[in-house]
Structure 1
Amino acid sequence: MTRTFVVTGAASGIGRATSQLLEARGEKVISVDLRDADIEVDLSSDEGVEFLASEAARLSGGTVDGVLAIAGLAQPVAKTVEINYYGTIATLESLRPLLLTSAAPRAALVTSMASLFPPDDTLLDALLDGTRATAMERAEELAAGTPEQSGLLYGTSKRALARWLRRTAASADWAGAGIPLNGVAPGVVTTPMTAGLTASEADRAALLTQVPMPLGGIFGPEAVADLLAWLVGESNGHLCGQIVFIDGGSDVVIRGDSTW
């Protein structure tokens, strides 16, 4: 039976590869992005998320079998936090009612191996336990600071998202409702987001000194799409709150024998 999936960030990179894979398998994909998508919307605002939910309900007929929250931003601006953290969570929460009518609902999000890097603790605390206003005030401070400070926005937002997933997946709203909620943490993937960092062999070599990937090095988005497709597939009925690092070994090199 054909399943229906909502994929955010579907116009490029991992989102596009995932959409193409699901469509090639005969599934129905409702694509979401700023442009070139079934639902064209900015997920950094409450109004955008409300529009997403209403359009997804209309286009799906009221039932969604899987949500893949892939949309993200990796720029040294405060909006990176709005998209990566608040936008991802709002996407999942706003579409959860559509998952409840599926016989086998699934949801997945995308964090990053950058979540392993030291975060800005003030921003992290504000995201997890403070108010959105406080968090965005700190995000603006970092964005206006040094390159090192603004560079903390991406990894901190992804670490906060990973912690939200761990806190949320086993709750009554998700596991209790029969919805496996999991995530992936890619290493360096060749997408438009990383194009400026991987343009030459010298660029790639320099990047790999910061992000060690001993197994295969930098890879394409199709590998991440394969993993995401399994996470939202019917055969995955018991994985709950897991973040799978698909990073060529970065997690192993950086964290050693430390495990959850």
Structure 2
Amino acid sequence: MSRTIAVTGSASGIGAALVRILEARGDRVITVDRVEADLVVDLASAEGRAAAVAGITERCDGVLDGLVTCAGTSVPSPLMVEVNYAGTVELVEGLQPALAASEAGRVAVVGSISGTQPNDPELVDLLLAGRTAAATDRAAALVEQGAPTRIYPSTKAAIARWARTTCIAPGWADAGVPLNVIAPGVILTPMSAGLVDDPRMRAVMDAAVPMPLNGYAEPEAPAELLAWLVSEANSHVTGQVIYVDGGAEATLRPAEHY
């Protein structure tokens, strides 16, 4: 049975791979991106995020079977607050009525293995409090302080924490809507190409994200998992952060973590 699923960041990388998988199985996909999409919007602004929610709601006639947020940026700047965090949270929360209206609404969001790495606790707290403007200011301060690399893991750690509390909040589990996070390792996408092609940066990534199982992944690897998470087959998996990382998380964190 065909399902209607919205995908942000659909023009490239994991999002584009997911669109191909969903359409191949017969789903109707509402694509969202800055270019070449059904809804061309900029998720880096509150106006763009609101337009995405309104546009998706209109196109699905108020009944959305699945939502996957793949949109993100790896450029260490305050933009990460707007796109990586608010670009997911505001869409998921804004589309909750449409997801709950489906007989099998499903949500999956793209986090990162970097969510396990050192972050900025102040920035994480501001994000979780919904203080986007203050979080943007904090991210700008981190850039000025020479600590821009703390921004990305902060946004991804905050996404994981938000999802784990939201998934069991009213309107989600009790409405039959699972909400999960995938945490990819190094994925071979246009966003990572510059790093992968630089031998020095590749060595840094190998140390930070060791992937003993098959090395760096093609975008289809996380996309296949996302496709299952938003399928009707997923009846009981919710609130999980699932690592698609070739064993990086298991390598970096001791078994005693659990």
TM-score for the superposition, normalised by structure 2: 0.96
Q: Cα 1:130–1:2, aligned 2, differ >3 Å: closer, same or farther?
A: closer
Q: 2:13 aligned with 1:18, yes or no?
A: no
Q: Paired residue for 1:204?
A: 202
Q: CA RMSD in A?
A: 1.4
CA distance in structure 2 between the aligned counterparts of 1:41 and 1:143, rounded to whole angstroms: 26
List structure 1 segments (4+ residues) > 6 angstroms apart after TM superposition: none
Q: Which of residues 220, 223, 243 in structure 2 aligns to 1:222?
A: 220
Question: Taking every aligned residue pair, what percent have the same amino acid on both sides?
Answer: 45
Written as runs of structure 1 = structure 2, the 5 A alignment for 1:108-147 is 108-129=108-129, 131-146=131-146
Query: How many residue pairs were aligned?
Result: 258
Q: Which moved more, 1:48-57 or 1:27-36?
A: 48-57
Q: Which moved more, 1:44-53 or 1:89-98?
A: 44-53
CA distance in structure 2 between the aligned counterparts of 1:155 and 1:200, rounded to whole angstroms: 22
Q: Which moved more, 1:161-170 or 1:45-54?
A: 45-54
CA distance in structure 1 between the aligned counterparts of 2:23 and 2:82, rounded to whole angstroms: 29
Counterpart of 1:39, as a letter, is: L
Q: Cα 1:64–1:205, aligned 2, differ >3 Å: closer, same or farther?
A: same
CA distance in structure 2 between the aligned counterparts of 1:130 and 1:162, rounded to whole angstroms: 14
Q: Which moved more, 1:4-13 or 1:130-139?
A: 130-139
Deviation at residue 202 of structure 1 after TM alignment = 5.7
CA distance in structure 2 between the aligned counterparts of 1:49 and 1:229, rounded to whole angstroms: 23
CA distance in structure 2 between the aligned counterparts of 1:87 and 1:144, rounded to whole angstroms: 24
CA distance in structure 2 between the aligned counterparts of 1:40 and 1:213, rounded to whole angstroms: 35
Q: Cα 1:206–1:45, aligned 2, differ >3 Å: closer, same or farther?
A: closer
Cα pair 1:189 1:219 within 8 Å, conserved: yes
TM-score for the superposition, normalised by structure 1: 0.95
Cα pair 2:81 2:132 within 8 Å, conserved: no
Q: Paired residue for 2:39?
A: 39
Deviation at residue 132 of structure 1 after TM alignment = 2.4
CA distance in structure 2 between the aligned counterparts of 1:124 and 1:103, rounded to whole angstroms: 34
Cα pair 2:64 2:105 within 8 Å, conserved: yes
CA distance in structure 2 between the aligned counterparts of 1:159 and 1:245, rounded to whole angstroms: 13
Q: Paired residue for 1:105?
A: 105
Q: Which runs of 5+ in 1 are unaligned?
A: none
Q: Which runs of 5+ in 2 are unaligned?
A: none
Deviation at residue 114 of structure 1 after TM alignment = 0.3
Q: Paired residue for 1:254?
A: 252
Cα pair 1:14 1:225 within 8 Å, conserved: yes
Q: Which of residues 168, 180, 189 in structure 2 aligns to 1:191?
A: 189
Cα pair 2:82 2:132 within 8 Å, conserved: no
Deviation at residue 49 of structure 1 after TM alignment = 1.7
Deviation at residue 62 of structure 1 after TM alignment = 2.3
Q: Paired residue for 2:9?
A: 9
Q: Cα 1:259–1:179, aligned 2, differ >3 Å: closer, same or farther?
A: farther
Q: 2:213 aligned with 1:235, yes or no?
A: no
Cα pair 1:49 1:94 within 8 Å, conserved: no
CA distance in structure 1 between the aligned counterparts of 2:53 and 2:6, rounded to whole angstroms: 10
